Structure 1
Amino acid sequence: MFFFYEILAITFLLFSPIIFAVRIIIGKEDFNRFLEKFCIYKKYNKNQTIWFHGASVGEIMSILPIIKILEKNNKVQKILLTSTTTSSASVVKKIKFRKTEHVYFPIDENYLTNKFLEFWKPKVAIFIDSEIWPNMIKNLKRKDIPIVLINGRITSKSYKRWLRFPNFAKKIFSSITLALPQNKESKLYLSKLGVKNIKIAGNLKYFGEKKTKVNSDVKKIIRDRKIFCCASTHDNEEDLISEAHKKVKKSINNLLTVIIPRHVYRTDRIVRLLESKQLNVITRSSRNKISKSTDVYIADTYGEARKFYEISNLCFVGGSLINHGGQNPLEPVRGKNYIIFGPFVHNFKEVYDLLLNLKIASKVKSLNNVCELIKKKINYNHSRKILKKIDEMGKRVLKNNIYEIDKFI
């Protein structure tokens, strides 16, 4: 099976000039850095590294507390952080690190993954969430480099996909040195797929750093408006959000809907949709001032979502009205927001179940549901006890993960 996988990888490489050209044009690749995916770097590395890899923003944000702790560890010379998306690279760029360097994850082809490992010399490879790359794992195993999966997540859907190639899956998953799944479901699936050393450490996304102070810029933006925040929105979700805004504004005339799209390259498309519905729209990147007639403010910049969670009381979390599986709601929860979500949250089922039990979230299925909740919860503010409970869970999870990772340093 590795042979056929490698054929697919080589085929991708052959067509990669066209693929990357298109992706650069539509904003999904960085023209100045895309060669990193071919292991072409501007610097030379001579240090052994502790390597972390996460797909995008959510995964990278979840392990930043671990990286910040490891940067203070005298045993750690250098930390390598890789990801695959431009959005994650933009977020990392804003953080001041002492020992950590970010590069893009290479194309998962045998030669390139070997070249990557020779160049960066990882002492341990730590993959986040569900990042399983066959060629990379095969070559890590060959070089006797420990492979750790932290905040591991295998859903029923992904488990069934791996079962289509049982021998291939077993060879890959049995190579994992240690798995730290985020829940019991993932632990069960990882065990069935062949991982031998498994310990539940908990979901890293329960841990949140101290609040960001709302800067004067954001305070000036909102003034006396009532904020309905919509986070990590995907295609087709802005349609319902716009209709809800129009309907609710009849009774809450100073309503301002803040949309934080999951992918900012969709901003122009979102603006066109909203304007076609006769809504007055301003984007954050334009730096235009909000007026009384502004209906929707689109936060199309990276790394600022938390600022908007701190000024809102109610947040719809996207990826949940479409069959995407939902997005992490814990950051807006820490901003004291009541959470609205759609029926498709299977990627974060455990988290949403907790929020429902704490009575700080509601599932919606229709436009009327959304409108009713906006009117009812626009001034919501949950108790400190709830925040304290989530914070305590997060601290335990972080401690558990640090304890296990430290064994490999």
Structure 2
Amino acid sequence: MFPLYSLLYSLALLLFFPLEYLKRPRSLRSLWLSEKLGNPQITLKAHAGKTLWVHAVSVGEALAAATFIHEYLKSRPDDRIIVSTITDTGRAVASERLRGLAQVIYLPFDLPWPVSKVIDHIRPDALVIMETELWPNLIRTVKLNRIPVCLLNGRISEKSYGNYMRVKWIFKPVLDMVDVFCVQNEVYAERLRELGVSSDKVNITGSFKFDIKVKDEQLDWTLRLSGPVLIAGSTHKGEDEIVLDAYKRLLAEHPGLNLVIVPRHPRRFDDVWSLIEKDSVYCIRRTALAETDGKISGAVILLDTVGELS
């Protein structure tokens, strides 16, 4: 199964690599490529404890991972933490939330040789995977090195469950290699059992999202907002037009209404800004707020930063 998966993954990589490379800011491209090829751009100093590798694909998982890592280090302060992400936003959030506590890298391509290079470099004593990032070669290569694997804050959506069931023959060997599953609720636990995971491996531990600590202080720029505020968070292509149309109709009834619109992916910031400007509404980018002063009312604010919505 694994050779076939590696072949299919390699073909997909050849097809999608140009897009994945070019969609990143120029400042990140060389770093991204180097780390995807198994060359972590981090310096490892001698330490007295173990090394824990935590994988968190994007922002949500990075926030959950940060909550876990803060608590983990209270009992094991001498351990080294390496966090891997896939998205640029996940990397930015993990770096900000775990500054001084962990080193952050991009997850290597899911092929045996780059994964092996990362293992040789960081020498992890355990791998913790947040939620449902089940990369076959990652898990297999880690297990071949006799490193335990734990799925933490696990969840399997109904859609993912259906997909896994259709290719159960592929994922059953991968699931068998995971030592412990800590999932959010009984529904996800039962789905894992239906996929063939032994009941004694499955534990219900709740959702880390309820443990995420929200910052007490209010961001300075939000204090300037006058009137009610509507937030459209994590928007995808095609949704911004719907939000703006609804906002304009509400604005007619509530003249002081503000809209904060937050595209899910930073690469869409400029496209969404162009869309907002064409809509003939009072608008401003979050990154340009420092150039203005006074109260803000009846405005569309593009949140072109990472991590502030959380």
| Length-normalised TM-score, structure 1 | 0.68
Aligned partner of 2:309 in structure 1 is 305
Give runs of aligned pairs for residues 234-313 of structure 1, distance below 5 A. 234-287=236-289, 288-289=291-292, 295-306=299-310
Trace 1:7-406 onto structure 2 (pairs within 5 A): 7-12=7-12, 14=14, 18-24=18-24, 27=25, 30-34=28-32, 35-45=34-44, 48-74=50-76, 76-95=78-97, 97-196=99-198, 197-220=201-224, 222=225, 224-287=226-289, 288-289=291-292, 295-306=299-310
| Structure 2 unaligned spans of 5+ | none
Do the aligned partners of residues 292 and 11 (structure 1) sit closer, same or farther apart at CA in structure 2, a change above 3 Å counting?
closer
Native 8 Å contact 2:228 2:258 kept in 1 = yes
The answer to whether the 8 A contact 1:70-1:76 is kept is no
Query: Once the two structures are superposed, what CA deviation does each residue of 1:222-280 show, in whole Å capped at 9, x if it has no partner?
Result: 1x232111111222221121111111112211111111221122122112222322222
* 1:376-401 C-alpha deviation (Å, 9 max, x unpaired): xxxxxxxxxxxxxxxxxxxxxxxxxx
Q: What's the CA shift string for 1:269-315, capped at 9, x where partnerless? A: 11222232222221112234377675300111012114xxxxxxxxx
How far apart, CA to CA, are the structure 2 residues paired with 1:44 and 1:94? 18
Q: Is the aligned partner of 1:5 residue 2:8?
A: no
Separation in structure 1 between the aligned mates of residue 296 and residue 82 of structure 2, nearest angstrom: 47
Distance 1:29 1:114, change over 3 A: farther
Per-residue deviation, 1:105? 0.5
Q: TM-score, with normalisation over the residues of structure 2?
A: 0.89
- Secondary structure in 1 aligned to 2:253? coil
Secondary structure at the residue paired with 2:125? Answer: strand
Change (3 A) 1:254 1:124: same
Distance change >3 Å, CA 126–CA 238, structure 1 → 2:
same
Compared with structure 1, are the counterparts of its residues 15 and 232 closer, same or farther at alpha carbon in structure 2 (3 Å cutoff)?
closer
The amino acid across from 1:201 in the alignment is T
- Distance in 2 of aligned mates of 1:63 and 1:284: 27
- Pair 1:20–1:277, CA change in 2 (3 A): closer
Deviating 4+ runs (over 4 angstroms): 12-17, 290-294
C-alpha displacement of 1:93 = 2.7
Specify whether residues 85 and 292 from structure 1 end up closer, same or farther in structure 2 by C-alpha distance, changes over 3 A only. closer
Q: Provide the C-alpha distance between the structure 2 equivalents of 1:169 and 1:28, rounded to a whole number of angstroms.
A: 36
The CA RMSD over aligned residues, in Å, is 2.3
**Equivalent AA in structure 2 for residue 177 of structure 1:** D
Contact 2:54 2:84 in 1 (8 A): yes
Contact persistence 2:66–2:98 (CA under 8 A)? no
Q: Which runs of 5+ in 1 are unaligned?
A: 307-409
Letter in 2 for 1:269: D
